Amino acid sequence: MNWLPGVGAESIPVAAGIPWENGYIESFHSRLRDEFRERVEFETVADAREKAAWYRREYNTIRPHSSLKYATPKEFSAACDKKGINQRTKVRKSVSM
């Protein structure tokens, strides 16, 4: 978490098992559990890592998300970068000339 101060942010501790304090990650964990961990069997640790890498690529680059107006996270991020917007803070990046 050494990069947080560099972007003007700080971490806020969230108590375990309190989903209303961090809805985004709790929602992701629920999807990860329902769509991946409970449906896929792993033969070895290497197999688990390979399958997790596939799921991550699929989740971030192939599957559209309704919360992103049916864009993939990769497409959404690219659109924000093109507009110069930090989507979390809704602040435009300053452009130096």
**Where are the domains positioned within the chain?**
18-92
Percentage of the chain beyond pLDDT 70 is 84
CA distance 47 to 38: 15
pTM higher than 0.85, yes or no? Answer: no
Q: Whole-number mean pLDDT of the chain?
A: 80
Residue 49: its pLDDT value, please?
Answer: 94
> pLDDT band at residue 95, thresholds of 50, 70 and 90?
very low
Q: What is the pLDDT of residues 48-70, one digit of tens each?
A: 999 999 999 998 888 888 888 89
Which residue type occupies 23? G
Q: What DSSP string describes 33-85?
A: IIIIITT---SSHHHHHHHHHHHHHIIIIIS-BGGGTTB-HHHHHHHHHHHTE
Task: Enter the tokens of residue 90.
Answer: 């809704």
Residue 45: its pLDDT value, please?
Answer: 95
